[in-house]
Structure 1
């Protein structure tokens, strides 16, 4: 574990300025975006949970992300929650969210903007976590480079202003893995308990948050033991403690309910049965949909899967500087024989790429969002492994300024449409829809921009093929 010197006052100011800049990009662009397709479902599930304590709409996803986003709406007596509509009794999250957001007299855009600020706050916390994780794992130089990459990362900015699950999952996954790494190198029980709590929050955000346990388990096996760190006996005990802590978080999220599930005998109830039943249902629904869902990739619409989907998606959706630095960082880890010591930096991106080679996740680059913080950490390692870049103050200033200019220019060219970012390998924007579509490009979020164009050109009505309700 690195023990860099304490940060000076001007470094704290620089960090706060960077976080403010990230928040400003997300907050400003949020006001220019209509509802993305998935937002209404998460907002309805989260707000109804807060108002009624009922989690019946938390089916496709657990309610935590929507619950956090809906917090600013509490206490607003002007918001109508139509629990008298038949869709509520039926637990139909699709129809109920339509009624709640669009057909109950609520100001949909105002509700979304307030809810999005909570997601932006989670985004700021994620960027902070990237900085401090890099600082502790690798050193101060790595932290500042990772911070620079994160502040202008278009995918993180985009999903820091949508009421969806991907940003929150990225935050809690990073925190869980970071604190598990702390446990492995410094065997203090609060480290392992916090790792378990954050892993529970990841699972309470999205069912595929369970992937964090694959990272934790592999790190347990791969990470070499160090003096003062967890020995093999402590590692297995720590894993059990983390699992118990995560189970407690999920149980609390579902109001300490206990009951039967269909995949176990009725005499064997589980805590939080709603969660585990829908976790089970979701896994088997994904498996059942294999070959039944039509997807689009590289100009082809098909119900077959593409093993290289995420490789291509990462190649065109990540900024080139970020991608090159991450690959260089991985190569330097191998050269310096630190792949095992810092295995937590590359395990999740590797697992996501491997999972993407199956038929399970060929449905959008956002499903790799949780891997991006680790890509940024890998990029940050370059600064620590190549100290000659920063051996003299003028080199530090020159390299930082050059990287900053490149990142700012690259992000500015797509602003405020960060979710539609493609790098230079994808060619001109006219070509992007031939590579990837759906949430990679158009998630239904640009009705406001369409209205502005129509007003500017004096167009009163159009025929629009629109995927959404807004």
Structure 2
């Protein structure tokens, strides 16, 4: 059943690949489109999350499609173009609530770029803006079956501090707009869409799991977390291709010159998503939150294929080498792309020093642990502390939890747990322990024997090693 569900995710990745190729080709030429396509197809982060039943790759694909349709319509306005732009906008909103930021962006992009493209009248531009947004909202409401759409703003019962106006989040619903002139405003959104945004905001206001970055846990996140994650999770060669483009722009070495308006429409959504997501610093756990940025940046980097410095073919060869390097970097980690970290930080085996959570260990290596155990019958009994949402017995494994102090034997522990990230560990009877937190940190001082993928570390503790650990750790 899970495999079938994941097959349903493949069209989203294919759509993103098509957008990268098509938009890149129209902006910079066929070679650029092909390079953008390759960067998307062999992006470790896209490959990792494209197979998961989450909304991030779908949001990236439909969000970029909506911006492509908007760009096409701004360049050559028509009723058909407005319809395409509105429909794709509505579908993007259905994919991920974060993309609600595209609604005001439609207005801004039309006002900044619209007249300079076609010299359209203000009234014609206004009609295009209103039409696009109305169609987008219609598709969004259609997706929710028009369930409780058009409710007055003052009639909502919110729980987040942002929408209640309370200083603390409580179980008592409230509405900061009630009793103000805004209470009678009709909200053209499905009620559950609005309440979903409120619920997400509660998560960002009350989340009590510590954030981790560069070996440090702390109670709040970092505003530069996603930029840092990109530095360690995106292939080095992809970064270098971006540097080639930047140098080419400065030296006017691009063989295809796009208008500034084209690149503004391409990059403004990426910048806005990054700023909005980075502003939520109550916790920072998931690099996947900025996946909608990926196709837009891949399209921009794709123009590296058009770089041609004067009397220098080395630059073209360098682009080919960097492209191959980026692809090989991804394939050498496959199928463990969720745990990918680039060469700059030592690859996936060193990733736990920089990021945790879904950036490395989302419980994906359980069946690799089962395979390893079947190949090593001597590793019996094997205790397991698994960081995941399912019981490890799902993989037909009989196990017990490791003790909370060093003990002779075989132990398999998820890297999130080794690093001390709080998590309720599944028990063999299907229940969960209380959050274990620091109780398995002693495994950090033990030498790994093997691993299942890059997220589950296998330890074989002998008597000599046990004595050494106890001797060096006064806690035991």
Matches of 1:175 and 1:273, distance apart in 2: 23
| Residues paired across the two proteins, number | 356
Mapped contact 2:147–2:190 kept (Cα < 8 A): yes
Structure 1 equivalent of residue 75 of structure 2: 185
Gaps of 5+ in 2: 157-183, 253-257, 392-476
> Is it true that 1:199 corresponds to 2:85 in the alignment?
no
Question: Which residues in structure 2 correspond to 1:28-427 (within 5 Å)?
Answer: 111-223=1-113, 225-228=115-118, 230-258=120-148, 263-265=153-155, 273-289=190-206, 292-330=208-246, 332-333=248-249, 338-360=259-281, 362-386=284-308, 402-427=321-346
Matches of 1:380 and 1:412, distance apart in 2: 20
State the shift of 1:388 in Å.
6.6
Report Cα offsets for 1:294-330 as digits up to 9, x if no partner: 2111111111221221111111111122222234435
Matches of 1:122 and 1:428, distance apart in 2: 28
Mapped contact 1:349–1:371 kept (Cα < 8 A): yes
Is the partner of 2:110 in helix, strand or coil?
helix
Q: TM-score, normalised by structure 2?
A: 0.67
Structure 1 equivalent of residue 429 of structure 2: none
State the shift of 1:217 in Å.
3.7
Matches of 2:136 and 2:28, distance apart in 1: 27
Mapped contact 1:185–1:225 kept (Cα < 8 A): no
Mapped contact 1:258–1:271 kept (Cα < 8 A): no
Mapped contact 2:23–2:68 kept (Cα < 8 A): yes
Q: Which has the higher strand share?
A: 2
Gaps of 5+ in 1: 1-110
**Higher relative contact order (CA closer than 8 Å, sequence separation 6+):** 1
Mapped contact 1:224–1:341 kept (Cα < 8 A): no
Matches of 2:117 and 2:275, distance apart in 1: 33
State the shift of 1:401 in Å.
5.2
Report Cα offsets for 1:108-145 as digits up to 9, x if no partner: xxx11111112112211210111011111222221122
Q: Which has the higher helix share?
A: 1
Mapped contact 2:66–2:88 kept (Cα < 8 A): yes
Is the partner of 1:301 in helix, strand or coil?
strand
Rg larger for:
2
Question: Which residues in structure 2 correspond to 1:450-469 (within 5 Å)?
Answer: 450-458=369-377, 459-460=379-380, 461-469=382-390
Q: TM-score, normalised by structure 1?
A: 0.68
Mapped contact 1:254–1:272 kept (Cα < 8 A): no
State the shift of 1:382 in Å.
2.2
Moved more, 363-372 or 454-463: 454-463
Matches of 1:279 and 1:371, distance apart in 2: 22
Matches of 2:117 and 2:152, distance apart in 1: 47
RMSD of equivalent CA atoms: 3.0
Structure 2 equivalent of residue 437 of structure 1: 356
State the shift of 1:277 in Å.
3.4
State the shift of 1:268 in Å.
7.4
Report Cα offsets for 1:39-69 as digits up to 9, x if no partner: xxxxxxxxxxxxxxxxxxxxxxxxxxxxxxx
Matches of 1:308 and 1:445, distance apart in 2: 27
Mapped contact 1:130–1:147 kept (Cα < 8 A): yes
Structure 1 pair 350–395 and aligned structure 2 pair: CA distance change class (3 A): closer
Mapped contact 1:177–1:215 kept (Cα < 8 A): no
Mapped contact 2:152–2:185 kept (Cα < 8 A): no
State the shift of 1:387 in Å.
7.6
Report Cα offsets for 1:73-104 as digits up to 9, x if no partner: xxxxxxxxxxxxxxxxxxxxxxxxxxxxxxxx
Matches of 1:142 and 1:390, distance apart in 2: 19
Is the partner of 1:162 in helix, strand or coil?
coil
